[in-house]
Chains A and B, each alone.
Chain A
Amino acid sequence: MLKVLFGRILTTIPALIGVVVVSFLLTRVLPGDTAAYFAGPAATPQAIEEVKKKLGLDRPLPEQFRRYVVDLSHGDLGQSLTTGQPVVADLKARLPASAELTLFGLILSLLIAVPLGILAAVKQGSFIDHACRAIATAGVSLPVFFTGLLLVYLFYFIWQISPAPLGRLDVFASAPPTVTGFYLIDSLLARDWEAFRSSLAQLALPGITLAIFSLAPIARITRASMLAVLSMDFVRTARASGLPARKVVMTYAFRNAMLPVITTLGMVFSFLLGANVLVEKVFAWPGVGSYAVEALIASDFAPVQGFVLAMAILYIALNLMIDLSYRLIDPRLESTT
């Protein structure tokens, strides 16, 4: 297993190199001139030239790239011109917020979509099957910013059940001491129930928004995959040897049906990372999505590069985990490497 892990990590290296190159080039071809933006609207051409020189933007591209890579190897992603902070510090502060939100949404979605998909497959053509289809279609056809606003309107404005959609904690609570950066976990570790309740309340609406969006693919794949497995020979053997329906469905069918679901999970996670940008805007969530968008609008290269790189690493890490979990589920894969 360790050898496999090591091998897999090695194979991610080319992908990472690609990401570094692409993120660098991408920010260079984007329209907008950083120097002009920071020199201000009234700046003279000389002033812009000066800023350019200061930022190193007057050098040829290979030279700029070399510098970028050298800095990167020291863990330096550059300076954000809008916040004035090192990009690494900004990401460190904001990434956990985004990760917490995305994971919360994903887990919530899994808890609803997987049982729904299983039920829909077991009782094919029944009410629950049609309900599953309706919910999934509705969820995926509503854009996240719309769902988000609708939820805020209903739960905050009309019914006043949830707190104001402003950030990760309500104004009176204080953040728990940082261990993982996830407020839910940190507050539990610190036994700070007030902070836990508050962060959960803040997380609920954006989390549900993301969950509604991601229900569809997970429920659909679970249903399709379960249907395929339920018609397989070994399920018939299990039934013919008198195993009860529950055991047949869960132990025999579902474990086999999990592989495609997990594959979809990786894709859904990347959709959610994209959807995050909008949700963070709607809920004033201090995550990396909104940070990156602001930087992009300001033609601020360094944070955009940092964001793309961080997301790529996250995605590669996730895929690595998915790959490894395949092996845990399916013994056939283990013997091939």
Chain B
Amino acid sequence: MSALLDVSGLTVEFATRRGIVKAVRQVDITVAKGETLGIVGESGSGKSVTSYAVMRILDRAGRIAEGAISFSGLELQDAPESQMVDLRGREMSMIFQNPRAALNPIRRVGEQIEDVLRQHAQAGSADAREKAIDALRQVRISRPEERYRAYPFELSGGMCQRVVIALALACRPKLLIADEPTTGLDVTTQKAVMDLIVELTRERGMSTILITHDLGLAATYCDRVVVMEKGEVVESAPAAEIFSAPKHPYTRKLVRATPRPGIALRDLLPDDRPAPPPQSAPVADAGAPLLTVSGLVKEYPRENGNIISRLLRPAQAQEAPFRAVDGISFEVRRGESVGLVGESGCGKSTTSMMLMRLLDPTEGMITFDGENIGAIPAKEFARNPMRSRIQMVFQDPTDSLNPRYTAARAIADPLLRFANHGLNLRSRVEELAQLVGLPLELLDRFPHQLSGGQKARVGIARAMALEPDLVVLDEPTAALDVSVQAVVLNLLADLKAKLGMSYLFVSHDLHVVRLVCDRVIVMRGGRIVEQGSAEQVLEAPKADYTRELIAAAPHPPVQGG
């Protein structure tokens, strides 16, 4: 096999306010014809920048400082822009993360495909529509004639990604670069999209570069994997070997940190930091129910337009309200961690919002420590003494911190509202910082001066400040790199053991849930499909849907750690 793309000694510089930053240093990458190459790395590893350099679509501030990019015999590093315009979309194309944002929101998807076809003279005005519809059909979009006229906002995330793939493959390019194509999609959608990409590119003998942070995904779908760290390639090996015999220490760390079946939580951490499994402190009346939810329902009225159209319409013509949560019952016991799993739209976030008492249920009881807190309106709950006993860790560690508060102020926030006045605030904040492993010198920094993992620790410390009985963790590691996720998950387990709290762990990642939860609840369409012990649900699922979810999660080729 001859090389289709040969990148050698690539160095990309960005001009920033603090001077020139080399985002990518001396990178060598080769992609053979028909090969699927995975580029894996955590945020800031330079994996996306490398691909943008190949496409020559770097930002204004970025430039290729050194190196050569040879693509089927053409030298791209200093090719004129006119030649690049011709190559992009026709010979090499790209699909992106966040498919809905990757499409022009106010142009019909069919027209966007037509734009590309016409640009590369693959279609004239007579057959453009026909060919665009055909491109949609190729990516298995049902009723392509209808979808041709759709706008991106009318399509689901998975459907949008199919349109982006159709756009990228419309002109039958030789190279496809997929930059985190499934991040933010549900597992079942992820599987469908990845299967489609692999199938279409194999069928056409195309080469593919899959850029991802997920080593498991890369190992599942790629022939060869390149691991990047801080702008440099640290290892390149066949996909099967990268898991079984990682050579570079960084690769080993990544492999270890990737949640996968058959390991324990401690196995995620690097070898050099052996830690004993979390020792559970004896919880007073452990196993007694702390939170009992019964028949919980949340309805939302359908969009009915403005006041006038609502007045004009007879009352009976209004549609039945949408049931986001449709009569669910479960309990969380003291000292237990319960996983709430499901795909987007299944009602898991709505449920956690109701348990947090930020949202009022339409029907049903939420009994917390013997009191029906569901009856207390969400508006008044902030003043209720119960408030301090239920706390939350939010999904996005950055967005959930006030950018104008220092870390110390953020952690102190709940203390200022609830703790008794005699408390020495600073010493309590320092104690909490130590508890979550946040270095004390970082306490006076603002969120933008902290890393993702550090911000996550601030968020956790804030939730722990009042020593709650129940902590709702809403995808607490979804925005973090795997190595950071490994540390944060272990931290959460340690905290639970030390403080004897209960967790409600909301997540879409089954591998993660398996590691941290005692029991698992699987939700779909506002209802509970299955619940039971983590082992039972994940190893021997009863519901078809659970089986489907488990099958869709990427399975790295090698088990164990």
Contacts and interface: CB of A to CB of B under 8 A. Distances in A.
B505 interface: no
Nearest to B108: A331
A237 B115 contact: no
A241 B168 contact: yes
A242 B120 CA distance: 8
Contacts of A239: 57, 88
Given A240-B55, A241-B89, A255 B106 contact: yes
Contact of B93 (A241, A245, A256, A330): A241
A337 B306 contact: yes
A238 B114 CA distance: 12
A interface, size bucket:
20 to 34
A73 interface: no
B101 A232 contact: yes
Interface in B304-342: 305-306, 308-309
Contacts of A255: 106-107
Best-surrounded residue of A7, A10, A233, A256 (most CB of chain B within 10 A):
A233
A235 to B, nearest CB: 8
B96 A233 contact: yes
Contact of B119 (A247, A256, A331, A335): A247
Contacts of B164: 237
Contacts of B174: none
A240 B85 CA distance: 8
Contacts of A337: 305-306, 309
Interface in A319-337: 329-332, 335-337
A92 interface: no
Contacts of A234: 101-105
A256 B103 contact: no
Nearest to A9: B308
B86 interface: yes
A243 B85 CA distance: 7
B102 A233 contact: yes
A240 B102 CA distance: 11
B93 A240 contact: yes
B154 A335 contact: yes
Interface string B113-135: 00110011000000000000000
A124 interface: yes
Interface in B67-122: 84-90, 93-94, 96, 98, 101-107, 115-116, 119-120
Contacts of B106: 255-256, 329-332
B155 to A, nearest CB: 12
A329 B151 CA distance: 12
Given A241-B88, A241-B93, A242-B116, A233 B101 contact: yes
A256 B89 CA distance: 22
Contacts of A252: 104, 107
A50 to B, nearest CB: 49
A332 B305 CA distance: 14
Best-surrounded residue of A3, A238, A244 (most CB of chain B within 10 A):
A238
Contacts of B168: 241
Contacts of A124: 60
B167 interface: yes
A223 to B, nearest CB: 15
Given A252-B107, A256-B105, A242 B85 contact: yes
Interface in A1-22: 3, 7, 10-11
B308 A238 contact: no
A46 interface: no
Nearest to B311: A10
A135 to B, nearest CB: 23
A237 B102 contact: yes
A17 B504 CA distance: 54
A255 to B, nearest CB: 6
A305 B268 CA distance: 76
A53 interface: no
A49 B220 CA distance: 97
B303 interface: yes
Contacts of A247: 115, 119
B116 A331 contact: no
B119 A233 contact: no
Interface of B: 55, 57, 60, 84-90, 93-94, 96, 98, 101-107, 115-116, 119-120, 151, 153-154, 164, 167-168, 303, 305-306, 308-309
10 tightest A-B CB contacts, nearest first: A242-B89, A242-B88, A241-B89, A233-B101, A240-B94, A237-B102, A241-B116, A234-B104, A233-B102, A331-B151
9 contacts: A232-B101, A234-B103, A237-B104, A240-B94, A242-B93, A242-B119, A244-B85, A247-B115, A335-B153
Interface of A: 3, 7, 10-11, 124, 232-234, 236-245, 247, 251-252, 255-256, 329-332, 335-337
